[in-house]
């Protein structure tokens, strides 16, 4: 096969000799394996190598970001924000918060974070990542307003890979809601390979939401690693319809008692979108809970994949773990693949999963039509009912209103 | 293993060996071995060519390594690929002529070949080691036009049928163990049910692995022609062995229009001792093709034996309105490992499949359900329902579920449910209170847990299976 990529550590400016050595070694590890393909179990349903080679002529990591200063602020609700261009933190504003209660800076590449499942994209990220942010919330501080991360990609990106790492630490008894809001002015194909590290210390609480502003030609791989201490709560909301390709690799480690995590996802996919959520929830300690609810609506030639794994260690007794994936298939050109996996070594546990996929209930369509609602409208009503259930747990505020409105637009195809 | 040792070891009810002199093929896997097998069976040329084709393919195939149960590397050159009881060079014509020692073995196993057959209405094609020794009730079946014989006999007498269907469900180049079987299979059963015939009795076969160091390679081919019905039972118990033995069988089922095949298995091979020493490697390929419209294939299995079980009885639902079913109980204790499940591939319209899997693990065992449900885009209005439940006894064992679900059709529905729990303590307490001891209570609860599958078994098996469930879990709670 033709080689459709060329990555060089030398394209990154200002590296020390030691760093260069490390990055080159990681790049070698990547080069040995190349982009993952379906021979790897974790990529069975998503042959990234084929997808990229079909859609890209030549990917490089050689790019210069434009200094785009203008961006549209979300007006629907009050928020703090970080403005990030091509992975680099450009500006921030925390006008609703106490300035002494948090720390924001650029990501420090000297700190290494190990990942339990090393796929070649992690190596590639280690080799090429630049930019990214580091945010730490102080003890006992609860954010008053949500934080929006404007994750912007500049106009001139074309056939390039963007790699970065972010890190977020919540100290004891702190609280934060973060909205990752992706958009771009680029009409070209580009690939993003990001790594997020979340650490939740005792009694902290994080809501982590992902949504897009608009449809874009972006190919996204998102690795999300989180470590949870005692009595913490992590809720992930994945509403990121609109990418050409998107894979969330979510690793959640429940390391101490009463740690709770959840993944909620509502995706409405159309055209040739391909989205995958792969989770591995590791119950490493007793009395932890995890919950996953994944909903997909598939239209046109789209493809949805869910690979969820619950791993329960021998000592993780009294685990309560649940997985549910549901998919609506709107025509015969779409495909939904699921692999809800349980690997359990403790006996006093409650673990279950369910998975369904099928068509929309024609009786319900008939019911709505008989009440004078046109067929197209009836479909929309049922789809939005199917998806919006995901947001049930969010508090009723302007943020939720904003998300519901966005989801409505996604259903209508932006 | 010496006979005295065996007598002392009472844990495994069926652990005994019969002294029958064996004819063996040359040791190791080679073209000579294959020619030897083909020659001793007096096979036509096309069969030898078929075997050699498989052998050539085998040279480029690699042993699969994705499965969870890992096993020590098998030395294929250190196995005998053919061993037959010597007395078979002159095939017995009636039961009286059969080596009395073999008959005794069956008696110990509880298959009364002589009288109880008629009462039970079962025709047994008994496979002792690799050669089919006795076939009873042949006349009754022949009258209906049913062919039930060993596959070697079928190759001689019904070459057209064998040529047409052998390898049509499990192709020569399928995967390592299936291909190995194609190259060196020694014997097995062949069933052909003519159009519009309902087989009057449950057909049954018994496999035993007897001679030490012999991997047994069985080949079973069942063809149900248009509008026919057959129920086939396969039961397995093996004598105790110290070293690991490989068993790589292939089972192919073909159901044509409106035909139905019901295939039931009780597998109780030597699982190794409490420390995980010895035991059978059971790497079996079972696949059925619902080729005709309105056809149906139903697999039922109770897996309690073998050190490592690794099999996925599958259905390819090609015909419109065809139905595939899979009912399974897998029990693992001590160091046993089971990686089992099914594949349901929906190709035809209005196809239905149902999977009920119950896994029970105790001791230090690992029990895994691994299955695939795939609905292709032409299979409109298809439906699958899957339920897999796991029961854990003790905190040193593992229960795993890996379903693969692929839906490519908007009018089809797939439903999948799975749970993992331990035995309900309240239920145990309730049973104890009413005077049942711990083991009786566990057996009762587990049998209840497996009820949906046990119900699917034919009468003859249901009783044995219930006993097996209880025996397999002895000593696992307490």
Which of B132-141, B300-309, B362-371, B416-425 shows the lowest mean pLDDT across its residues? Answer: B132-141
Whether A345 and B415 lie within 8 Å, measured CB to CB: no
| Mean pLDDT for the stretch of residues A250-262 | 96
Per the prediction, chain B carries an average pLDDT of: 81
Q: Answer yes or no: is pLDDT of B111 > 70.
A: no
Alpha carbon of residue A55 to chain centroid? 22
What was the pLDDT predicted at B62?
Answer: 87
Q: Which of A88-92, A230-234, B17-21, B446-450 has the highest mean pLDDT?
A: A230-234
What was the pLDDT predicted at B12?
Answer: 55
More confident residue, B209 or B404: B404
What tens digit of pLDDT does each residue of B372-396 get?
999 998 999 999 999 999 999 888 8
CB B362 within 8 A of CB B337: no
A361 at interface of B, judged by CB pairs closer than 8 A: no
Which of A4-13, A75-84, B93-102, B269-278 shows the lowest mean pLDDT across its residues? Answer: B93-102
| Mean pLDDT for the stretch of residues B18-33 | 73
| Mean pLDDT for the stretch of residues B30-38 | 88
Whether A334 and B410 lie within 8 Å, measured CB to CB: yes
Distance CA B194, CA B191 (A): 10
Distance CA B125, CA B152 (A): 13
Q: Answer yes or no: is pLDDT of B457 > 50.
A: yes
pLDDT band (50, 70, 90) for residue A2: low
B417 at interface of A, judged by CB pairs closer than 8 A: yes
What tens digit of pLDDT does each residue of A151-188 get?
999 888 888 999 999 999 999 999 999 999 998 888 88
What was the pLDDT predicted at A364?
Answer: 93
What was the pLDDT predicted at B27?
Answer: 78
Q: CB atoms < 10 A from the CB of A112, how many?
A: 7
Q: Answer yes or no: is pLDDT of B20 > 80.
A: no
Whether B408 and A332 lie within 8 Å, measured CB to CB: yes
What tens digit of pLDDT does each residue of A177-222 get?
999 999 888 888 999 999 999 999 999 999 999 999 888 899 999 9
Q: Which helix (H) or strand (E) segment is A117 a member of? A: none
Chain B interface mutation, best of A332, A363, A379, A382, highest count of B Cβ atoms under 10 Å: A332
| Mean pLDDT for the stretch of residues A285-313 | 94
Whether B409 and A332 lie within 8 Å, measured CB to CB: yes
Q: Answer yes or no: is pLDDT of A305 > 90.
A: yes
What was the pLDDT predicted at B90?
Answer: 45
Whether B416 and A338 lie within 8 Å, measured CB to CB: yes
- Which among B398, B405, B414 has CB closest to A345? B398
What was the pLDDT predicted at A273?
Answer: 93
B66 at interface of A, judged by CB pairs closer than 8 A: yes
Contact list, B415 vs chain A (CB under 8 Å): 354-356
Alpha carbon of residue B93 to chain centroid? 28
Q: Answer yes or no: is pLDDT of A319 > 80.
A: yes
Q: What percentage of residues in chain A have a pLDDT greater than 70?
A: 97
Q: Answer yes or no: is pLDDT of B4 > 80.
A: no
Alpha-carbon distance B46 to nearest alpha carbon in chain A (angstroms): 36
Half-sphere exposure of A94 (CA within 13 A, CB side): 15
* DSSP E strand boundaries for A240-376: 243-254, 260-269, 274-283, 289-298, 303-312, 320-329, 335-344, 350-358
Per the prediction, chain A carries an average pLDDT of: 91
What was the pLDDT predicted at B237?
Answer: 53
Q: Answer yes or no: is pLDDT of A15 > 90.
A: no
What was the pLDDT predicted at B287?
Answer: 96
Nearest CA to A173 out of A199, A201, A145, A146 is that of: A201
What was the pLDDT predicted at B8?
Answer: 47
pLDDT band (50, 70, 90) for residue B21: low
* The CA-based dihedral angle spanning residues A302, A307, A308, A312, taken in that order and rounded to the nearest 10 degrees: 180
More confident residue, A120 or B74: A120
A19 at interface of B, judged by CB pairs closer than 8 A: no
Nearest CA to A340 out of A354, A320, A326, A361 is that of: A354
What was the pLDDT predicted at B9?
Answer: 47
What was the pLDDT predicted at A374?
Answer: 94
A314 at interface of B, judged by CB pairs closer than 8 A: yes
> Please, which residues bridge with residue A393 across strands?
none
Whether B400 and A342 lie within 8 Å, measured CB to CB: yes
Q: CB atoms < 10 A from the CB of A301, how many?
A: 15
Residue B338's alpha-carbon distances to B70, B335, B389, B417, in angstroms, are: 11, 10, 14, 20
- Give phi and psi for B295, each to the nearest 5: -90, 165
Predicted TM-score of the model (pTM): 0.86
More confident residue, A263 or B73: A263
* The CA-based dihedral angle spanning residues B117, B123, B126, B131, taken in that order and rounded to the nearest 10 degrees: 150
| Mean pLDDT for the stretch of residues A115-134 | 87
Chain B interface mutation, best of A309, A342, A359, highest count of B Cβ atoms under 10 Å: A342
Q: Answer yes or no: is pLDDT of A116 > 80.
A: no
Contact list, B398 vs chain A (CB under 8 Å): 343-345
CB B343 within 8 A of CB B309: no
Q: CB atoms < 10 A from the CB of B168, how many?
A: 14
Whether A357 and B404 lie within 8 Å, measured CB to CB: no
pLDDT band (50, 70, 90) for residue B277: confident
Burial class, A172, CB count within 10 angstroms (exposed 0-12 / middle 13-18 / buried 19+): middle
Contact list, A304 vs chain B (CB under 8 Å): none
Whether B410 and A314 lie within 8 Å, measured CB to CB: no
Q: Answer yes or no: is pLDDT of A253 > 90.
A: yes
The set of residues, in sequence order, having a beta carbon less than 8 Å from that of B434 and lying 6+ positions away, is none
Nearest CA to B378 out of B405, B411, B353, B404 is that of: B411
Contact list, B66 vs chain A (CB under 8 Å): 41
What tens digit of pLDDT does each residue of A260-272 get?
999 999 999 998 9
pLDDT band (50, 70, 90) for residue B244: low
What's the CA angle centered on A339, arms A225 and A414, to 5 degrees? 70
Contact list, B412 vs chain A (CB under 8 Å): 329, 358-359
What residues 172-201 of chain A have any CB closer than 8 A to a CB of chain B? none
pLDDT band (50, 70, 90) for residue A347: confident
Distance CA B237, CA B256 (A): 32
| Mean pLDDT for the stretch of residues B35-60 | 90
B8 at interface of A, judged by CB pairs closer than 8 A: no
What tens digit of pLDDT does each residue of B138-175 get?
677 888 999 988 888 899 999 999 999 999 999 988 88
What was the pLDDT predicted at B429?
Answer: 92
What was the pLDDT predicted at B334?
Answer: 87
| Mean pLDDT for the stretch of residues B181-208 | 83
């Amino acid at each position: 096969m033709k080689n459709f990529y060329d990555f060089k550590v030398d394209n990154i400016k200002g590296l020390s000799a030691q760093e260069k050595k490390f990055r080159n070694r990681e790049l070698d590890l990547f080069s040995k394996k190349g982009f993952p393909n379906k021979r790897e179990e974790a990529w069975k349903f998503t042959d990234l190598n084929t997808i990229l080679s079909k859609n890209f002529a030549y990917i490089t990591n050689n790019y210069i970001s434009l200094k785009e200063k203008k961006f549209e602020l979300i007006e629907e609700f009050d928020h703090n924000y970080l403005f990030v261009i091509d992975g680099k933190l450009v500006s921030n504003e925390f006008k609703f918060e106490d300035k002494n209660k948090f720390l924001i800076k650029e990501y420090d590449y000297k700190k290494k974070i190990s990942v339990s499942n090393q796929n070649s994209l992690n190596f590639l990220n280690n080799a090429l990542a630049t930019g990214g942010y580091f945010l730490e919330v102080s003890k006992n501080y609860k954010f008053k307003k949500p934080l929006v991360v404007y994750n912007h990609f500049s106009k001139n990106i074309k056939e390039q890979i963007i790699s970065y790492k972010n890190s977020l630490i919540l100290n004891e008894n702190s609280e934060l809601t973060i909205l990752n809001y992706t958009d771009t002015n680029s009409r070209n194909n580009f690939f993003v390979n990001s790594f997020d590290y979340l650490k939740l210390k005792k009694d902290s609480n994080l809501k982590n939401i992902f949504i897009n502003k608009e449809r874009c030609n972006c190919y996204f791989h998102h690795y999300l690693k989180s470590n949870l201490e005692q009595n913490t709560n992590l809720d992930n909301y994945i509403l990121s319809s609109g990418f050409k390709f998107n894979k969330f690799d979510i690793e959640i480690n429940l390391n101490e008692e009463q740690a709770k995590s959840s993944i909620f996802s509502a995706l409405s996919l159309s055209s040739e979108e391909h989205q995958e959520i792969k989770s591995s929830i590791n119950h490493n300690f007793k009395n932890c809970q995890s919950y996953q609810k994944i909903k997909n609506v598939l239209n046109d030639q789209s493809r949805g994949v869910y690979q969820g794994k619950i791993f329960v260690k021998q000592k993780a007794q009294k685990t309560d773990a649940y997985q549910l994936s549901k998919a609506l298939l709107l025509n015969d050109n779409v495909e939904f693949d699921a692999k809800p996996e349980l690997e359990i070594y403790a006996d006093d546990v409650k673990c279950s999963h369910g998975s369904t996929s099928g068509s929309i209930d024609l009786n319900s369509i008939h019911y709505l039509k008989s009440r004078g609602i046109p067929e197209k409208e009836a479909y929309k009503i049922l789809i939005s009912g199917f998806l919006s259930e995901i947001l049930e747990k969010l508090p009723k505020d302007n943020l939720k209103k904003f998300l519901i409105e966005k989801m409505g637009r996604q259903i209508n195809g932006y | 293993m010496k006979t005295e040792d065996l007598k002392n070891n009472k844990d495994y009810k069926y652990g005994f060996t019969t002294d029958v002199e064996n004819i063996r093929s040359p040791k190791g896997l080679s073209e000579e071995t294959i020619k030897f097998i083909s020659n001793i069976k007096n096979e036509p040329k096309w069969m030898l060519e078929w075997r050699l084709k498989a052998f050539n393919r085998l040279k480029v195939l690699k042993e699969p390594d994705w499965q969870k149960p890992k096993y020590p590397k098998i030395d294929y050159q250190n196995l005998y690929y053919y061993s037959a009881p010597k007395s078979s060079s002159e095939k017995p014509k009636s039961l009286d002529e059969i080596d009395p020692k073999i008959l005794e073995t069956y008696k110990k196993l509880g298959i009364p070949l002589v009288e109880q057959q008629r009462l039970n209405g079962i025709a047994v094609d008994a496979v002792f080691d690799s050669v089919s020794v006795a076939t009873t009730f042949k006349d009754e079946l022949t009258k209906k036009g049913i062919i039930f014989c060993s596959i070697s006999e079928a190759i001689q007498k019904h070459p057209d049928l064998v040529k047409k269907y052998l390898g049509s469900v499990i192709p020569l180049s399928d995967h390592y163990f299936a291909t190995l079987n194609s190259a060196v299979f020694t014997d097995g059963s062949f069933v052909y049910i003519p159009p519009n015939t309902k087989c009057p009795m449950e057909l049954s076969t018994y496999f035993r692995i007897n001679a030490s160091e012999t991997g047994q390679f069985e080949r079973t081919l069942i063809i149900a022609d248009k509008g026919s019905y057959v129920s086939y039972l396969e039961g397995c118990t093996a004598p105790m062995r110290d070293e690991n033995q490989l068993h790589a069988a292939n089972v192919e089922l073909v159901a044509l229009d409106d035909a139905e095949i019901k295939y039931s298995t009780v597998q109780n091979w030597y699982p190794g001792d409490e420390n995980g020493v010895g035991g059978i490697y059971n790497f079996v390929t079972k696949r059925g093709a619902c080729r005709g419209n309105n056809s149906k294939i139903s697999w039922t299995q109770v897996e309690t034996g073998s050190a490592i079980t690794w099999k996925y009885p599958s259905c390819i639902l090609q015909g419109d309105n065809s139905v595939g079913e899979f009912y399974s109980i897998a029990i693992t204790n001590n160091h046993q490992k089971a990686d089992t499940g099914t594949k349901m591939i929906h190709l035809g319209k209005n196809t239905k499949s149902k999977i009920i899997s119950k896994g029970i693990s105790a001791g230090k065992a690992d029990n895994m359900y691994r299955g695939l449900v795939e609905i292709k885009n032409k299979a409109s209005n298809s439906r699958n329902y899957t339920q897999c439940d796991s029961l854990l006894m003790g905190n040193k064992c593992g229960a795993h579920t890996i379903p693969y679900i692929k839906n490519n059709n908007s009018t089809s529905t797939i439903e999948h449910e799975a749970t993992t729990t331990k035995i309900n303590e309240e239920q145990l307490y309730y049973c104890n209170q009413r005077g049942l001891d711990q083991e009786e209570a566990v057996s009762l609860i587990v049998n209840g847990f497996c009820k949906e599958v046990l119900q699917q078994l034919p009468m003859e098996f249901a009783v044995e299976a219930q006993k097996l469930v209880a025996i397999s879990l002895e000593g696992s709670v307490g």
